[in-house]
Structure 1
Amino acid sequence: MNVDRLAEFNRGSQNASAQNVEMRPLMAPPSDPQSTQGFLDQISQLQDAIKGINENVGRLRALQQNYLQAADESQQNRLRAQLNEFNDDTQNMIRAVKDRVKSIEPTQRHPDLGIRKNQFANVSKTFMDTIERYRGLEIEFQKQESQQMERQIKIANPNATADEIDRAVHEAQSGSRPVFAQQLLQQDKYQAQETLENVNQRHQEIQKLAQSINQLTELFQEMQMLLENQSHVLNTIEASSYDVVNEVEKGNAQIGQAVTYARATRRKKWIMFGIIAAIVIIIIIVLVVKLVPQNKSSS
């Protein structure tokens, strides 16, 4: 079982919560949870936890089949206790993983947003697949439990109609009290108390399975909404990033144009300066030419 793994996983989560940081990976050197490597370490740890959930689901399948085939009451009780233990362990791990996945949602403040976005989407989808696999297992087990209950009712009361049996089974699946099932069985005064107890036990197990299925359905929908919201936020961020890039490109183009204009202006200034200088020089030459003959004539 994964009780130790779950305890270790939860201890890390509690420590991280107390420090207001995300949990560091187990058996790994400390790393900054805000860094890319710290984020990848957490993704790796979540993948290990999801793998542990899948292992539990595989064991649950085998235990369920053994339980349905068990004829001895003591063996059924032992297998039922193991099933309850594995279910509780698996559900606790699922809740812990859900909380951890939600705690590492990528945000715009992360410079490595692209890496985080892809890794977050991958681990979320893997987790959702695991939830759906577990939910499918519980649904199938509920059907098999209902079939067992139908057979027990038929044995206890051969006169029970199909509609009456269906009503008793639906009563169990909807989570209602087993009033109708008990009344149905008590129609036969020779009905054994043991069979009635077995039907009641089946009723409780089916009811518990129905609650588990509803919880898993809600959890799957919550994760789906989280992933959809995350995708929407990231798409908005990407669109904003594209707008920023476009504005920067436009700004760069405008700066380029300004530089070109500035260079042209400077070139024109130098041309004008050259023209003025040439005019000044010509004027000086003309004056010199006019003044020199006059000086010679005076002499």
Structure 2
Amino acid sequence: MNVDRLGELNSRTQHNNENNGRYEMRPLLATPSDPTSMQGFLDNVSQIQDMIKTINDNVQRVQTHQAAMLQTADAQELGRHRGQVEQLTNDTQMLMSRVKKQLKDIEPTSRHSDLAVRKNQFASVTKSFMDAIERHRTTALDFQRSEAKQMERQIRIANPSATEHEIEQAIAQAEEGRPAVFAQQLLQSVSQDQRRYDAQNTLEAVQERHNDIHRLAKSVQELTDLFQEMQFLLENQAKVLGEIEVHSYDVVENLEHGEKHISNAIQSAKATRRKKWICFGIFMTILIIVVIVVVVKFVPQNKGSGGSAPSPSPTA
């Protein structure tokens, strides 16, 4: 049965354009196969690789929208890019959760006869996932720093007398998710109407930056935890496989020792049998000698006594 892949792709592209560029995560392959079989394991690895590629693509698109957010001054345009970033971030987090679950499902164990192949494939795809996590984390950290600088500039515009400590406190409040107390105090020293209007706009922008920084800080922490979890999984896998390898070496060494003992036992048995035959030969030699001596000693006496028998006396 032929399938119109080009028509399906064009239909998906048109659907995305109609949604004003909103990214819709496509289903990735079919339901995972049974990971206990080798083919099922390889199918799962292939599916995970596809999801990791989509994660990297999402991160690249997030970087593009974040760069646009830093360059635009239009509130509507800024809001559109922010919405795209949030949607892509949510989709990426869902993908990462799926990858983490599937990696744990296909984790090699000692019961697999094809352990060496699974070990290499599992380590490779896990490291690729960790690279994708770190790239996403680095992107979030870089944008968080840029947002903090933007927030600092906006605070200085609205309140030129703000000190470095106050600005650092405002940024720290944003990272910790606390209310923007300092930002809300920006209007207190503003008197003129125009300055108040400008300050009000700046306050709203600062509040948005405050929320962005908090979301980014939360995302960075989640990505850090996920990276450490995957690192622990990989290290634990290496430890388990290392123990299996050590046990294998022990088994081989024990077999070699056993073969040596068996060889020594065979040699000892052969030597014992040889000594038994030697002893038997010596015994038979001694026996033959004794028989010969007895024969030599007694046979001539018997002959002599037979020859000297008395002759019959003459009759009268």
**TM class by shorter-chain length?**
0.7 to 0.9
| Cα distance between partner residues in 1 of 2:260 and 2:187 | 86
Aligned residues: 277
Match of 1:59 among 53, 58, 61: 61
- Residue of structure 2 equivalent to 1:158: 160
Match of 1:34 among 30, 33, 36: 36
- Residue of structure 2 equivalent to 1:3: 25
What is the percent sequence identity of the aligned residues?
51
Flag the 1:45–1:269 CA change in 2: closer, same or farther, 3 A: farther
Q: Deviations over 1:243-279 (max 9, x none)?
A: 1211111011111112222233344445555666777
- Residue of structure 2 equivalent to 1:81: 83
For residue 239 of structure 1, what is the amino acid of its counterpart? V
TM-score by length of 1: 0.80
SS, match of residue 188 in structure 1: coil
Match of 1:138 among 124, 137, 140: 140
SS, match of residue 36 in structure 2: coil
For residue 113 of structure 2, what is the amino acid of its counterpart? P
- Residue of structure 2 equivalent to 1:259: 266
- Retained in 2: the 8 A contact 1:53–1:90? yes
Match of 1:230 among 237, 260, 263: 237
| Cα distance between partner residues in 1 of 2:60 and 2:233 | 27
- Residue of structure 2 equivalent to 1:191: 196
| Cα distance between partner residues in 1 of 2:24 and 2:278 | 85
Match of 1:207 among 214, 221, 228: 214
C-alpha RMSD of the superposition: 2.9
For residue 182 of structure 2, what is the amino acid of its counterpart? F
Q: Give the stretch that moved more between structures: 67-76 or 198-207.
A: 67-76
Flag the 1:287–1:40 CA change in 2: closer, same or farther, 3 A: farther
Match of 2:51 among 49, 52, 64: 49
| Cα distance between partner residues in 2 of 1:77 and 1:67 | 8
- Retained in 2: the 8 A contact 1:149–1:199? yes
Q: Deviations over 1:194-244 (max 9, x none)?
A: 332221111111111110011111111111222222222222222222112
Flag the 1:185–1:123 CA change in 2: closer, same or farther, 3 A: farther
- Retained in 2: the 8 A contact 1:157–1:191? no
Q: Deviations over 1:118-155 (max 9, x none)?
A: 22222222211111111010001111111221222222
| Cα distance between partner residues in 1 of 2:155 and 2:43 | 54
Q: Give the stretch that moved more between structures: 252-261 or 205-214.
A: 252-261
| Cα distance between partner residues in 1 of 2:189 and 2:154 | 14
Q: Deviations over 1:4-38 (max 9, x none)?
A: 14xx46x73xxxxxxxxxx32xxxxxxx5223343
| Cα distance between partner residues in 1 of 2:288 and 2:123 | 77
SS, match of residue 184 in structure 1: coil
Flag the 1:41–1:283 CA change in 2: closer, same or farther, 3 A: farther
Match of 2:101 among 99, 113, 131: 99
Instruction: Please report how far the alpha carbon of residue 97 of structure 1 lies from its aligned counterpart in structure 2 after TM superposition.
Output: 0.9
| Cα distance between partner residues in 2 of 1:131 and 1:150 | 29
| Cα distance between partner residues in 2 of 1:162 and 1:191 | 23
Flag the 1:70–1:278 CA change in 2: closer, same or farther, 3 A: same
Structure 2: gaps (5+ residues): 1-22, 308-316
TM-score by length of 2: 0.76
Instruction: Please report how far the alpha carbon of residue 45 of structure 1 lies from its aligned counterpart in structure 2 after TM superposition.
Output: 2.3
| Cα distance between partner residues in 2 of 1:2 and 1:116 | 32
| Cα distance between partner residues in 1 of 2:106 and 2:122 | 8
For residue 70 of structure 1, what is the amino acid of its counterpart? T
- Residue of structure 2 equivalent to 1:175: 177
